[in-house]
A and B are shown apart, each in its own frame.
Chain A
Amino acid sequence: MIESSLSQMGAALRAKKISSVELTQLYLDRISQLNPELNAYITTRPEASLAQARAADARIAAGTAEALTGIPFGQKDIFCAKDWLTTCGSKMLHNFVSPYDAHVISQFNDAGAVNLGKTNMDEFAMGSSNETSHYGSVKNPWDKARVPGGSSGGTASAIAARLCAAATGTDTGGSIRQPAALCGISGLKPTYGVVSRYGMIAFASSLDQAGPMGRSAEDLALMLNAMAGFDERDSTSLQRDKEDYARDLNKPLNGLRIGIPKEFFASGLGSDVAKAVEAAIAEYKKLGAVIVDISLPSTRLSIPVYYVLAPAEASSNLSRFDGVRYGYRAPEYTDLADMYEKSRAQGFGAEVQRRIMIGTYVLSHGYYDAYYLQAQKIRRLIAQDFVEAYKHCDVIMGPTSPSTAFKLGEKGDDPVQMYLSDIYTIAVNLAGLPGMSIPCGFGDNDMPVGLQIIGNYFDEARMLNVAHQYQLATDWHSRAPQGI
């Protein structure tokens, strides 16, 4: 059952071949067994999960089940979920039990899905290795000495280890796609505004976007159907008609124009990753696609632009964590300023503090124009590059990350090296475009390689079609780590 697709699982549940309680218990048992080592979940509440499973079974019995009813999902710990500890990977929220549901959570609840637990993540989604989590590193199921990527590392690890049917992620600079690549699973970051950010703890509001992560493009389409849609509680949520993201899955790819940006294959890209990605592109040619060479000249500035804008927004977004109303407060302090300083110095980890300081700096009087405004200008140029490119192609492909999963601790004391692992994903967030990663082979160290597919605005259905056709022709996505 754990190798079944979501639609197979849904069908089995509705056919009463298995109950949601049984399926949920199956995953809970796997979590008890494997999670102590993988550390993919921060919080599980078996009783709460089973209660949801019982409700799902009742709904199935009543004949009102939907596609996801009764299927157990992991939820990234960035989403507020009522009565669930919601830590965002931080000591700052070590005691925060949310009184409300994020939009994404209530969408899954409304669909009758089961919440298996809150998955581990880099603290406040700041990191590319899941090593900044206050709740400990997550291990990559393909090699437990290696990182799962980040920030949605817990989700990626849990999916690869079959500790859930699928799970949610969020992506500010690559946080869905990079861990998906490093763990050999599929992940989609939708167009900015497609999934409501309500109840998703903000890192960089203009870049954050929630999306589905799972074992196949087909699964992602079903999940996105539940997650997407206008929400008046998020002013940046887009008012669009509901669409069926699975509608184009089976379209043939004849004549599909795939843009290959030369900048994504320049120095810095691991040769094993390049080889796997090139093989995938060759496979697409076999499927009838046409390759178009394109250039995204401004994307070379993505990392510096991102590391101005994201910290600027984060420095302000994280100001609410002040120890006054909820969350961590230092046990001892002398006055108000001391309470703020100690609570934040003790409650936030090093990477979060680094970004708050960068963000505060770039917004400061006298630096704002040189950093923040300049970065906004370049952000527009980067978006313009894509607009230009999509005049010549339908989707853009390249590597998701320059290397496969690296060793735990390997990049720990070199933030810039760490930041470079998002070099191909960040431009997509800056432009607000949809992007996804699907498995396309293995590198020299037998670790998975991800193929990045970047679509035009609102072109998720086409991207899922492109990914699904590849997954019909190959089996990289159905490989499972040994011992799982």
Chain B
Amino acid sequence: MTWEIVIGLEVHTQLSTNTKIFSGASTAFGAEPNTQADAVSLALPGVLPVLNKGAVERAIKFGLATGAHIAPRSVFARKNYFYPDLPKGYQISQFDLPVVGQGSLTIQVEPLSGNAKPYEKTVRITRAHLEEDAGKSVHGESQGVTGVDLNRAGTPLLEIVSEPDMCSAAEAVAYAKALHTLVRWIGICDGNMQEGSFRCDVNVSVRKPSQPLGTRREIKNLNSFKFMQQAIDYEVQWQIDTIENGGKVQQATILFNPDTGETRAMRSKEDAHDYRYFPDPDLLPLEISEEWKERVRATLPELPQAKQDRYVNQLGLSAYDASILTSSREMADFFETVLAAVPNDAKMCANWIMGEVNAQLNRDGLDMAQSPITAQQLGGILKRIADNTISNSGAKEVFRTLWAEGGDADAIIEAKGLKQVSDSGAIEVLVDGVLAANAEKVAEYRSGKDKLFGFFVGVAMKASQGKANPAQLNEVLKKKLAG
């Protein structure tokens, strides 16, 4: 009997504001403990929160990018619980009136198993709300003492909650990746998962087809897509085994241990907190006017989906190429900058970026933003291919030199003597010489041994020291061999 898997995600994205959501303290990562804890972060007596408009604008951007309803009036609420890294004893969050309402995100799913084909799916987003992050408890610095670092306390988060629309680990990962791409794309989050800028909680349940939803367990704080997939796979199997062995799944919050590949319950529903939410009387309801919304909309870049469609429909790229080139904002920007140098050669740009550039980046362990070759530099090379100044192999040499040493494409072409011979008179002289020196082969060719064409190309190219324009050479050879 088959089981259906039901997955929903809650993703905490750290918004890329310079200062905290309710104070002017810095949000920079990695500072000495508590050096970014101002009076508000420390929750000194008498301090008050003041909302950071930058955080609100990032939330609006997200809502607009997912076609969501932006609430004209939303409310900050206090979520009350005690913990040393929660200095006020409550977290300011949004509860029944979030800033972003229902939206959706279309994802490309690459099935993990067998020969199944990639497919598209639209995941509904329930809501997204603004809240502040907690600080960090630091254990083990000294014996028997737990330290508290409040640098992170008050960092703005947008918690993005999906509907339980995903039916496999592959879909969950695809959704998380698409969300990760989107938030970086629209510039609201740096997406740094190691630093905790993008953290996923995954709700998993299983059921028999057409049965009501099963009891869910929530896997907390996954900060890698690989762990997410492993955790879901393990959890799904655990739930199925539990039910098939006559047991019952109890609602619980669980943690995934990457070392063992297992999930384990952290707390059950019974010891769930009563957070005693109520509207924060220190903050007025958040009001977003049409005008503010439109001002933010004007700052939104072309979104990945729109770009993909444009690449396919206007530039004639394949859907595959288009999806790779829009996998990140950096990639798309890189592509478009290169394309500006050779506007009629989109396919060549795509091939170079997805081939040469990606291969070198992978080899050197770099990402697009760190590429030693700028898009302008690559455009400079491709321009010289397009205008027949250099051959493809010459271009690769320029590329390797630029990668390793930097510089200017034209100067390298000049210095290395890579300029190809495109003078038709010179090529004709060259071809005449080759044919004269190989009269026997010419006779064989003319008697029908077509395969010898490659031989003539090779000899002629060698004679030109590789500088002959291949297309021109081919043309002249064909003409002269035809007699």
Any B CB within 8 A of the CB of A187: no
Contact in complex: A235, B46 (CB < 8 Å)? no
Q: What is the chain B residue whose CB lies nearest that of A324?
A: B84
Q: In the complex, A320→B146 CA distance in Å?
A: 18
A176 at the interface (CB under 8 A from B): no
Q: Complex formed: what's the CA distance from A312 to B278 in Å? A: 9
Q: Which residue of A lies closest to B43 (CB)?
A: A320
B281-A205 in contact (CB<8A): yes
A contact residues around B43 at 8 Å (CB): 320, 325
CB proximity to B under 8 Å, residues A78-135: 79-80, 86, 88, 93, 96, 98-100, 102
Interface centre among B87, B277, B281 (most CB of A within 10 A): B281
B20 to chain A, nearest CB (A): 14
- A205: chain B residues at CB < 8 Å are 281-282
Give which listed residue, B48, B78, B80, contacts A234 with CB less than 8 A. B48
Contact A325 B276 (CB under 8 A): no
- Assuming the A-B contacts A364-B276, A365-B274, are A198 and B47 also in contact, with contact meaning beta carbons closer than 8 angstroms in the complex? yes
A325 to B86, CA, bound (A): 11
B254 to chain A minimum Cβ distance, whole angstroms, is 22
The proximity string for B residues 68-107 relative to A, scoring 1 for CB distances below 8 Å and 0 otherwise, is 0000000000101010100111100000000000000000
Decide: A235 near B50, CB < 8 A? Known: A100-B39, A324-B84, A325-B42. yes
A198 to B46, CA, bound (A): 6
The reply to whether A235 and B278 form a contact with Cβ atoms under 8 Å apart is no
Measured in the bound complex, the distance between the Cα atoms of B139 and A324 in whole Å is 15
- Asked if A336 CB lies within 8 Å of chain B CBs, one says yes
Name the distance in Å between A101's Cβ and chain B's nearest Cβ. 10
Mark out the residues of chain B between 145 and 180 whose CB falls within 8 Å of any chain A CB in the assembled complex: 146, 148
CB <8 Å contact, B276 and A324: no
Is the beta-carbon distance between B89 and A319 smaller than 8 angstroms? yes
Q: How far is the CA of A201 from the CA of B45 in the complex (A)?
A: 5
Q: With A320-B88, A372-B278 in contact, do A235 and B49 touch (Cβ < 8 Å)?
A: yes
A206 touches B281 (CB 8 A): yes
Residues on B with C-beta less than 8 A from A88 are: 45
Tell me whether B48 and A235 are in contact (CB under 8 A).
yes
Cβ-neighbour of A99 out of B39, B88, B89, B148 (below 8 A): B39
Q: A99-B44, A199-B46, A316-B276 are in contact. Are A235 and B282 (CB under 8 A)?
A: yes
* Interface of B (DSSP majority class): loop
Contact A197 B48 (CB under 8 A): yes
A188 interfacial by beta-carbon distance below 8 Å: no
- Cβ-defined contact, B80 with A319, below 8 A: yes
What residues of A have a CB within 8 angstroms of the CB of B452 in the complex?
Answer: none
Within 8 Å of chain B (Cβ to Cβ): is A368? yes
Give A232 to B49 CA distance when docked, in angstroms.
10
Of all chain A residues, which has the CB nearest B84?
A324
- Point out the residue from A204, A336, A363 that lies within 8 Å of B80, measured CB to CB: A363
Residues from chain A with Cβ under 8 Å of B87 in the complex: 320, 324-325
**Cα–Cα distance between A312 and B45 once the two chains are bound (Å):** 18
Q: Contact partner of A316 among B146, B278, B284, CB < 8 A? A: B278
A125 to chain B, nearest CB (A): 12
Query: CB < 8 Å: which of B45, B46, B278 contacts A368?
Result: B278
Residues of B within 8 A of A315 (CB): 80, 276
Q: Check A233 against B45 for contact (C-beta < 8 Å).
A: no
B430 at the interface (CB under 8 A from A): no
Contact of A316 with B46 in the complex, beta carbons under 8 Å: no
B34-71 interface mask toward A, CB cutoff 8 Å, 1 = contact, 0 = none?
00000100111111111100000000000000000000
B283 at interface by CB-CB < 8 Å: yes
Complex contacts, B80 vs chain A, CB 8 Å: 315-316, 319, 363
A233 to B88, CA, bound (A): 17
Per-residue interface assignment for chain A, residues 333 to 375, with 1 indicating a CB less than 8 Å from any chain B CB and 0 otherwise: 0001000100000000000000000001001110010001000
**A325-B83 Cα distance, complex, nearest whole Å:** 12
Known contacts A205-B281, A316-B80, A340-B82; decide if A360 and B45 are in contact (CB<8 Å). Answer: no
| Bound-complex Cα distance A318 to B48 (A) | 13
Which of A102, A316, A336, A365: most chain B CB closer than 10 A? A316
Question: Are B84 and A233 in contact, with the CB atoms below 8 A?
Answer: no
Q: Contact mask A315-330 → B, CB, 8 Å, 1/0?
A: 1101111101110000
B276/A199 in contact, CB under 8 A? no
A395 at the binding interface (Cβ < 8 Å): no
* 0 or 1 for each of B88-132: is its CB under 8 Å from A? (1 = yes): 111000000000000000000000000000000000000000000
Task: Evaluate contact between B46 and A360: CB separation under 8 angstroms.
Answer: no
The answer, yes or no, to whether A220 is at the interface (CB within 8 Å) is no
In Å, the complex CA distance between A309 and B375 comes to 61
Q: Give Cα distance in the complex from A23 to B90, angstroms.
A: 45
- B51 — which chain A residues lie within 8 A by C-beta? 235
- Given that A235-B283, A325-B42, A336-B84 are contacting pairs, would A316 and B90 also be in contact in the complex, using a CB cutoff of 8 Å? yes
Is the Cβ of B46 less than 8 Å from the Cβ of A200? yes
Set of chain B residues within 8 Å of A294, measured between Cβ atoms: none
- B48 A198 Cβ-Cβ under 8 A: yes
Question: In the complex, which residue of chain A has the Cβ closest to the Cβ of B37?
Answer: A325
CA of A322 to CA of B84, assembled, Å: 8
Residues of A within 8 A of B45 (CB): 80, 86, 88, 93, 96, 98, 201-202, 320-321
Contacts of A322 in B (CB 8 A): 82, 84, 89
Which residues on B sit within 8 Å (CB–CB) of A102? 46
Interface membership of A478, Cβ < 8 A? no
How far does the Cβ of B283 sit from chain A's closest Cβ, in whole Å? 5
Q: How far is the CB of B256 from chain A (nearest CB, A)?
A: 25
Determine whether the beta carbon of B276 is less than 8 Å from that of A232.
no
Kindly state the separation between the CA atoms of A320 and B276 in the bound complex, as whole angstroms: 15
Contact residues in B for A372 (Cβ distance below 8 Å)? 278
In A292-327, the 8 Å CB interface with B consists of: 312-313, 315-316, 318-322, 324-326
Residue A25 at the chain B interface, CB threshold 8 Å: no
Question: Which of A199, A312, A324 is close to B47, meaning CB atoms less than 8 Å apart?
Answer: A199
> Which residues 1-59 of B have a CB within 8 angstroms of A?
39, 42-51
- Closest B residue, CB atoms, query A86: B45
Interface residues of A in 173-219 (CB under 8 A from B): 197-202, 204-206
* A-B contact sample (19 more), CB < 8 A, given A86-B45, A234-B48, A313-B281: A80-B46, A88-B45, A98-B45, A99-B39, A100-B39, A102-B46, A197-B48, A198-B48, A235-B283, A312-B278, A313-B278, A319-B88, A320-B43, A324-B148, A325-B87, A326-B42, A363-B276, A363-B278, A364-B274
9 A-B pairs within 8 Å (CB atoms) are namely: A80-B44, A313-B281, A315-B276, A318-B89, A319-B82, A319-B89, A336-B84, A360-B276, A364-B276
List of 5 A-B pairs having minimum Cβ-Cβ separation, nearest first: A319-B89, A363-B276, A206-B281, A205-B281, A199-B46
